[in-house]
Amino acid sequence: MKLYLTLDNLGSIGDQDVLSEFTDRSVTVKVKFQKKISTLHIARLCEDILAKESYVKKKSDYVLVMMKKSESGKTWPWVTEREKKTKEKDKPKVDDSDPSAGITSLLKNMYDDGDDEMKRTISKAFYESQMKQASGADPMADLGGL
């Protein structure tokens, strides 16, 4: 996992002005620059890292933070544990036992999050489908034999 900390004119500072500390689930990087100390601290990373194999590199315009993943090849969709929990909580849950539940859930989310035009379109399609089913017509007949 790579993080880029962008700071202009870092070429004027020495390597001793970039301090780092890694643990299995956290990272702290401090850069002493222009009479200030800029700090990046992530207390809870999304996944474990190998602290002994993680390091920082100072470049002319940025500091590169290299964190060695404990499981190589695994993709991290998020950096922090908090971000992971927030995004997974917002992710809709799909019931695999009912195949139409996924589509129903998707349409419900589109309706709930959509604007007035989207709500009208979904309502109209649902109404027309219900009318065709009530009259005994095939609701899929308009699809042209797909």
Q: Are residues 54 and 102 in the same domain?
A: no
State the residue range of the domain holding 29.
2-70
pLDDT, position 140:
63
List the 62-69 sheet strands across, edge first.
2-6, 62-69, 49-58
Count of domains in the chain? 2
Radius of gyration of the chain measured on its C-alpha atoms: 26
Query: What's the chain's average pLDDT?
Result: 84
Please, which pLDDT band fits residue 145 given cuts at 50, 70 and 90?
Answer: low
pLDDT, position 144:
58
pLDDT, position 94:
57
Residues 6+ apart with CB under 8 A from 133: 139
Question: Is residue 30 included in any domain, yes or no?
Answer: yes
Q: 32-36, 39-43, 63-67, 138-142: which range is least confident on average?
A: 138-142
Q: Which of 108, 127, 111, 130 is nearest to 119 (CA)?
A: 111
pTM exceeding the 0.85 threshold for the entire prediction:
no
- Higher-scoring residue by pLDDT: 5, 133: 5
Question: Is residue 139 included in any domain, yes or no?
Answer: no
